[in-house]
Amino acid sequence: MLGVIGGSGFYTFFGSDARAISLDTPYGEPSAPITVGTVGDHEVAFLPRHGAGHEFSPHTVPYRANMWALRALGVRRIFGPCAVGSLTPDLGPGAMVVPDQLVDRTSGRDDTYFDSGGIHVGFADPYCPTLRAAAADLPGVVDGGTMVVVQGPRFSTRAESRWFASQGFSLVNMTGYPEAVLARELEMCYAAIALVTDVDAGIDSGSAVRAVDVFAEFERNMVPFKKLMHEAIDRVELEQSCTHCQPHDGVQLPFDLP
């Protein structure tokens, strides 16, 4: 089963024929019931990251519960669509990007399942190359870029934006971490697909970023963004063959994965 975790403004993925599944986990309930439907030949589980009514801010999303619930349901490969700000004039609103790197600038988030046992996962390349290729090879999609993940819920200052840009980062986001590393710990393939909703304050000398504008831009691009998601899913092989996202080979874990 494939998974899709919808970001800001991305709260539904199927019609009324999808079935809803409520799950509990050792880490509490996920953001919302998971809906399961089909896209082409794939069975797909959809979970709105921020809840069905956007009740979770980026720093309060129950990331561990979300990823655990998807794994328990049978999901082994996940696309994580998300809204991002641009840190370069080359990427304007409406651009769709498949990042290949991330930088964590969050704080205080529960970002591991391994609080004991001395377990360490490789994370040099945080995204699944197979899933990335399925989306990045589509027409009009920008392949590659570094996404810096900030704590939120506030937007960056102009100085922070300029600093991020000076480091070579191209996108800024609030939810890409710890989602990606939790997927890796659960041996699930994961790839982010980013929709640019704004040019960040330090890059655009005009008005500062406003939440209402971000949501409006996401809404304007929702139809082509969902179309991109469907096309990417259609390009994923039915059988999982990736070994990049299985870091626990030969390792004795302190608990069984769901």
Catalytic residue among 24, 200, 234, 249: 200
Q: Token match 């794994």: residue?
A: 71
Query: Residue 200: which pLDDT band, with cuts at 50, 70 and 90?
Result: confident
Q: What are phi and psi of 20, to 5 degrees?
A: -100, 140
CA dist 156 and 8 (Å) reads 17
Neighbours of 100 (CB within 10 A): 18
Cα dist from 139 to 3, 105, 181, whole Å:
22, 31, 28
Is 175 annotated to bind ligand? yes
Whether 1 contacts 40, CB under 8 Å: no
* Angle at CA of residue 30, ends 237 and 117, nearest 5°: 80
214-226 confidence digits (pLDDT tens):
667 767 777 888 8
Is 200 annotated to bind ligand? yes
Catalytic residue among 198, 204, 234, 249: 198
User: What was the pLDDT predicted at 53?
Assistant: 87
Domains of the chain: 2-235 (3.40.50.1580)
Is 98 annotated to bind ligand? no
Q: Two tokens at 102?
A: 């991330």
Residue 200 known to be catalytic: yes
Q: What is the pTM of this model?
A: 0.93
133-148 confidence digits (pLDDT tens):
999 999 999 999 999 9
Is 42 annotated to bind ligand? no
